[in-house]
Amino acid sequence: MVPEPSRTAAQPGLGQETLLARLGLAGLFLSGLVFAFPGAILPAWGYHVREDYISVGNYFLSMVAGLWLAPLVARRALRGSSVITVLVAGSATVCAGLFLLALLPPGFSEWWRLAATVVLGIGAGLINRGAFQAVASLYRRDATATLYLAGISFGAGCVTISLLVAGTYYVYTVRSILVWIALLPAFFCGIYARAARTHKEAFAPALPDLGAGWQWTAAGLKGPVVALLVVLLFFQFGNEWSLGGWLPLLLSKRVGVSPAASLLMLTLYWLALLVGRVMASALLTRTPHGRLLIASASAALMGCTILASTNNRFGAVVGILLVGCGFASVYPLAAGRISGSFRGYHPGFFNGVFSLAVTGGLLAPWSLGFLVAHWGTRAVIAVPLVGTLMVFLLVLLLWAEAKLGAADI
């Protein structure tokens, strides 16, 4: 049973609630941009010609380290801060990490890049914490719509970063590209700071203890449904980020496309996920969930098979679309189950669940670094293939649990 949220802080009015929700969704957009950053920037760093696959995997591990360090940073530096202060701090931290990457000269020690990536993870973790607090009132009004909007905002950030790097690949130097990317969190930081000045009353209540998120999450994981949902999202994010992190390198090595073209295909992958989630959300009320699940799993498996065997662009595009559309329905299914199970909302709990899911999403491409180093880029498809089967089984377990509990998933 998830603990009930604290009622000590005054609830915001409708206008303030709308403002907070918009700022929170904007924060999730920026979070998606940050977590999709390693996969998009790797070709610009020359890893499509270098075969240092262990280093590629370590960038994702550094993001995980930063994400897990964020609660400690928040507890030490931002205790008692308002929502907007946390969002400003997170955006500024991401901006600082990107500028640090831009300042590093070519050939500099790889450890500095890894350290800067840890900073990005810390900033994204802070943004997530503030964003989940900002959408709290909106969740209490319409839980399902809030989770769908959160997923769309996060996915839009993934699309944006890959499209930005693809569009500037042959126009600017790597340093200039990183500066352009850094301007985005700087822009959000300015928006948050301006909102803090003009709407002080909306941000007056302080956040609950920022370090307590993992305690709330651990308390909520006692039920079997919650644990299954968290494991489901852990594996599903791993599936999505396995391709989101390694797809440009896979296409460059196996299909022979240029780095810019591989980044455009990465954009197509994120876009297929985003559009597929919107379509799946609409289909959930009209299509039997079991039929939709079987169709999605079949599409994902077929897409992975095509990507593993194709040697041309047409096959790659077909495989990407099939995989993206196949993966897309899992999040709406999970979001509907979550919104039906957790009417009480605590930002720390949901931030912890999301952080665990993102951890799975980043650990999967990290593990691929070792697999690719030993078996080549074809191993990129191994993790999503196994992960898709695991997700299929987990959804069936949730479905069976719902039937046994006389509830519809």
Neighbours of 346 (CB within 10 A): 24
Neighbours of 73 (CB within 10 A): 19
- Residue-level pLDDT at 15: 65
Tell me how far apart the alpha carbons of residues 310 and 136 are, in angstroms, rounded to a whole number: 45
Instruction: Decide if pLDDT at 398 tops 80.
Output: no
The candidate with the shortest Cα–Cα distance to 191, out of 391, 389, 394, 29, is: 29
The candidate with the shortest Cα–Cα distance to 37, out of 126, 123, 162, is: 162
**Cβ neighbours of residue 348 closer than 8 Å, sequence gap 6 or more:** 132, 208, 212, 213, 214, 215, 216, 217
Instruction: Decide if pLDDT at 16 tops 80.
Output: no
Instruction: Decide if pLDDT at 338 tops 50.
Output: yes
Average pLDDT, the chain: 83
Residue 67 in contact with residue 121, Cβ under 8 Å? yes
Q: What is the mean pLDDT of residues 122-145?
A: 87
* Each residue's pLDDT tens digit, 54-103: 999 999 999 999 999 998 888 887 777 788 889 999 999 999 999 999 99
Tell me how far apart the alpha carbons of residues 319 and 302 are, in angstroms, rounded to a whole number: 7
The candidate with the shortest Cα–Cα distance to 96, out of 219, 179, 192, is: 179
Q: Determine whether 300 is exposed, middle or buried from the number of CB atoms within 10 Å of its CB (0-12, 13-18, 19+).
A: buried
Read off the pTM: 0.88
Tell me how far apart the alpha carbons of residues 397 and 409 are, in angstroms, rounded to a whole number: 10
Q: For residues 165 and 338, which has the higher predicted lDDT (pLDDT)?
A: 165
DSSP 35-82: HTHHHHHTTTTTTTT---HHHHHHHHHHHHHHHHHHHHHHHHH-TT-B
**Domain ranges (residues) in the chain:** 14-404
CA distances to 90, 116, 325, 349 from 188, rounded to whole Å, are: 10, 20, 30, 25
Tokens of 190: 């300015």
Q: What is the mean pLDDT of residues 135-144?
A: 81
Instruction: Decide if pLDDT at 333 tops 50.
Output: yes
Q: For residues 218 and 336, which has the higher predicted lDDT (pLDDT)?
A: 336
- Residue-level pLDDT at 1: 43
Assigned CATH class of 14-404: mainly alpha
Q: What is the DSSP letter of 73?
A: H
Alpha helices by DSSP H, 310-375: 313-328, 330-341, 347-375
Ranking 101-115, 156-170, 389-403 by mean pLDDT, the lowest is: 389-403
